Structure 1
């Protein structure tokens, strides 16, 4: 057991041993629900999977490769070579592993701003500057009934087609205007 600990604390594995401890700490925090990391690592060619998963794979593999390679060499220049090879090999293997994981990653959650620019149909008797609801069809084909308001003197009737042009986060409603593309 002491040989294993010595190997994990020897160069180059010691670099990734520290990072592996950080990764384990990160996953403890994620499992307890305190935080999560949703960024994407497209700049490394590792897109489509949350950064927490990708970085965990990258660091764990680099640690393993540097630990395994470091046990076979004794000189510092060769250990530097092991470090470079461990980083390159971990990136390559992580890239291979991320491809099938992309299918398991959840799609980006829709935002209320996704409706801006879409047409809608008024569903209440009237839609004006203080009240109204309209039905909008999202890009995925699902529909939603949303709160809408007009600006100025525009008043829309049930069945009128309108265009959503802005979202008011404070009031949680969309600004609409008559859709002049339809007669």
Structure 2
């Protein structure tokens, strides 16, 4: 046990110990319902131009929630760093030799951890397939929002919405006269502008085209 703790809380394994501890704390908070698995607990700026999804596909990590991907990555990297230090760290002793060894282990463990994680997520994708049937841009159509800022001369602004526990900050467009704190409904996604066309909630509920 003493050797296990010594390696766990020594460089380079301690780097992944901290990351893994953060992941465990996140899941404990999730179990208490204080954060949402799909949305996170902070503000999310929806920017479709950011090709995070493309990066996930390239790495073979798509199809499952990002927190789960990171947890598997941290766990895999921790195991690799731990056993690397257990098998080879003692032979190097302390000092700068061990520091250099650790600096090589960290990126190596991360890279190998990515490969391991890409294999681990494959059997998990069917479990989350229902949640990923439609892009977020289409999922939020029909959602009610509150205007944060709006410029009538340009017809551009921002609005906030809450969906499945996530707090979303969205770019909006409209030809209606809107003011801060007005309630609107997302009616269409404008892919060329990376924004949502909205209409006043009262008009939407009454069936008015305005």
Contact 1:62 1:86 in 2 (8 A): yes
Richer in helix (by share): 2
The CA RMSD over aligned residues, in Å, is: 2.8
TM-score, length-scaled by structure 1:
0.60
With normalisation by structure 2, the TM-score equals 0.53
Q: Structure 1's 175 and 89: CA in aligned 2 closer, same or farther, altered over 3 A?
A: farther
Q: For residue 55 of structure 1, report the CA deviation from its aligned partner.
A: 0.6
- The change in CA–CA distance for 1:12 and 1:99 in structure 2 (over 3 A counts) is same
Match status 1:170 vs 2:197:
no
Provide structure 2 residue ranges, at least 5 long, that are not aligned to the other structure: 40-50, 93-97, 144-186, 189-196
Which string of whole-angstrom CA distances, capped at 9 and with x for unpartnered residues, describes residues 19-64 of structure 1?
A: 1111110000101100024269632432221111111101111111
For residues 62-84 of structure 1, what are the alpha-carbon distances to aligned partners after superposition, in whole Å with 9 as ceiling and x for unaligned? 11111111112233322322222
Separation of aligned partners in 2, 1:170 and 1:113: 10
Where has structure 1 moved over 6 Å in runs of 4 or more?
A: none
Higher relative contact order (CA 8 A, sep 6+): 2
Structure 2 equivalent of residue 138 of structure 1: none
74, 78, 84: which one aligns with 1:69: 84
How many residue pairs end up in the alignment?
128
Match of 1:49 in 2: 64
Distance change in 2, residues 1:47/1:41 (3 Å): farther
